[in-house]
């Protein structure tokens, strides 16, 4: 699954640690999601969308 997490985080000048704190996960989890090594659970995907004020589809998309 592709995502725009790194871009959205950079637009807000947040570190991976900053985002991790807002989500209640580890910085390593944020890194794994950004690099595509881990797909977040549905509850975490909703929480990510909420933190950025977007809908899930604006952050995540299936790989072609």
Q: How many CB atoms are located within 10 Å of the residue 57 CB?
A: 8
Which residues, in sequence order, are CB contacts of 31 under 8 Å at separation 6+? 16
CA dist 9 and 51 (Å) reads 10
Half-sphere exposure of 7 (CA within 13 A, CB side): 6
In this structure, are residues 46 and 53 in contact, taking their beta carbons and an 8 Å threshold?
A: no
Half-sphere exposure of 43 (CA within 13 A, CB side): 3
pTM to 2 decimals? Answer: 0.92
Q: What is the mean pLDDT of each run of 10 residues along the chain (64 residues)?
A: 96 98 98 96 98 97 83
Residue 50: its pLDDT value, please?
Answer: 98
Residue 27: its pLDDT value, please?
Answer: 98
Residue 63: its pLDDT value, please?
Answer: 78
């Amino acid at each position: 699954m592709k995502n725009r997490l790194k871009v959205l985080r950079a637009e807000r000048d947040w570190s991976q640690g900053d985002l991790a704190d807002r989500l209640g996960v580890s910085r390593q989890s944020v890194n794994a999601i950004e690099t595509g090594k881990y797909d977040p659970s549905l509850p975490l995907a909703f929480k990510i969308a909420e933190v950025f004020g977007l809908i899930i589809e604006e952050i995540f998309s299936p790989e072609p």
